[in-house]
Amino acid sequence: MKRALLISLLAASLAGCSTLSSTVGSVGSSVGSLWNSWFGSDKAKPAALETLSGPATGRVAWSAKGDDINFALSIATPGDRFVVASSDGTVRALAAADGRELWRTQAGGKLLAGIGSDGRFSAVVNRDNELVVLDAGRVAWKKALPTPVVAAPLVAGERVFALTLDRQVLAFDALDGRKIWELRRPGEPLTLAKAGVLLAYKDTLVVGQGPRLAGVDPLKGSLRWEASVATPRGTNEVERLADLVGPAVRQGEVICARAFQSSVGCVNAERGSALWNRVVGGTNGIGADDQIVVAGDASDRLSAWRLANGDLAWSADQFQHRKLSEPVVLGKQILIGDYEGQVHLLDRDSGKTRSRLATDGSKVVAIAVLGDTALVATKRGGLFAIKGE
């Protein structure tokens, strides 16, 4: 049986076929040392906020409030709206222009993963490990999933796709919940209990399978291509763990992703071939536009690489140990949140901080971009729509 490496905010633990003590002992490591090497020590002092004197380069256009968010929220951006969810099971669609609530519903239980949406159908996974699909804001059907899910489902082409912790991929008919296919592949002895990669490229479903991106036929579930983002290294299973971590980003034919504590890399999804990768630690997803790819490492140092060739554009260390969110690119600025709810706006081309916006004082857990607006979600359930200069 495949084992899963479970990552939480409180501790790192290993579970599955073997116990914590036997698994950790077998590789000669301690939980504490693994945690510190992967995520940085909690004792490390966060960098002080910079003194900024220039004009503001962003503003909060509107805000909203919901229940706390204690799961790996992925904000959906279909059409002209943001679709968001809270831990209590509330799912809402908000107009991107003004935050007006378009619909609201209850998914019927606390949530474990979400949200995926194409504008009509929206999908979440509850703590009973049920896939719950909404049709225009009303619960249409539920399906029990075979193994736990922490990645947001993908809704595309009247199908709903789910990626389980053991990297099994399942496809369901969005209308009635009928299972269309499932894909099981031999995998790594350990998998990461952190949201993986699941997105669409034209008529191909792209999923993370260990340290590789795989292109899958969404109609049949057959493999079309596979490309490596990382080459796992190490003397044991834990050191070689390099699962892809979401969110990944797509720019034209190029899809870029992070391999857990291993590297950041890009592949050409049209050809199914690797373009470049760069060795860098880190555990969060990445951001990109048509010029650069941005990611933070385990100490919250930021690096930006040229999308075309992977050359280093800049690096920045002004946010060390501030427990950063994944970055996004909004116009010519990079937005990234921290553990105090501060949203930092950086110059895309230099990495220098241009301005800063406060939210509600709790950790930024997700950011999504739709047009000229970025929606920031905080752990306390705050939603803040930010527009750039």
Backbone angles phi, psi at 173, to 5 degrees: -70, 125
Identify whether 69 is preceded by a cis peptide bond (ω within 30 of 0).
Answer: no
Nearest to 156 by CA among 174, 139, 138, 168: 174
What residues does 374 pair with on adjacent strands? 369, 386
Label the pairing between strands 204-209 and 198-201.
Answer: antiparallel
Q: Provide the edge-to-edge strand list for the sheet that holds 12-15.
A: 12-15, 3-7, 190-193
Domains identified in the chain and CATH numbers: 3-388 (2.130.10.10)
Beta strand 111-117 with 72-73: parallel, antiparallel or unpaired? parallel
% helix, strand, coil for the chain, step of 5: 5, 50, 45
Identity (one letter) of the amino acid at 18? S
> Given this model, what pLDDT does residue 189 score?
66
Contact 349, 332 (CB under 8 A): yes
Q: Show Cβ contacts of residue 205 under 8 Å, excluding neighbours closer than 6 positions.
A: 154, 156, 161, 169, 198, 215, 216, 217, 218
pLDDT at 230: 93
Question: What pLDDT is attached to residue 52?
Answer: 95
pLDDT for 26: 37
Residue-level pLDDT at 235: 77
Edge-to-edge strand list for the sheet holding 254-259: 244-251, 254-259, 263-268, 273-279
Vertex 294: Cα angle to 288 and 295 (nearest 5): 130
247 preceded by cis ω (within 30°)?
yes
Whole-number Å distance between alpha carbons of 244 and 207: 9
CB 177 within 8 A of CB 162: no
Q: Given this model, what pLDDT does residue 373 score?
A: 98
Q: Could you tell me the CA-to-CA distances from 373 to 37, 99, 227 in Å, in that order?
A: 35, 11, 32
C-alpha to C-alpha distance for 270 and 23, rounded to whole angstroms: 40
pLDDT of res. 40? 55
Among the listed residues 274, 236, 270, 239, the one whose alpha carbon sits nearest the alpha carbon of residue 253: 270
Alpha-carbon distance 18 to 121, whole Å? 39
Q: What is the pLDDT along the chain (389 residues), one digit of tens a residue?
A: 444 444 433 333 333 333 222 333 334 444 444 545 555 556 789 999 999 988 999 999 999 999 999 999 999 999 999 999 999 999 999 999 999 999 999 998 999 999 999 999 999 999 999 999 999 999 999 999 999 999 999 999 999 999 999 899 999 999 999 999 999 987 666 778 889 999 999 999 999 999 999 999 999 999 999 999 998 887 788 888 899 999 999 999 999 999 999 999 999 999 999 999 999 999 999 999 999 999 999 999 999 999 999 999 999 999 999 999 999 999 999 999 999 999 999 999 999 999 999 999 999 999 999 999 999 999 999 999 999 98
- Bridge partners (DSSP) of residue 316 are 302
Residue 5: the pLDDT is 46
Q: Structure pTM?
A: 0.90
pLDDT given for residue 36 in this prediction: 53
CA distances from 63 to 98, 170, 387 (A): 9, 35, 12
Helix (H) or strand (E) segment spanning residue 22: helix 20-26
Residue 188: predicted pLDDT: 65
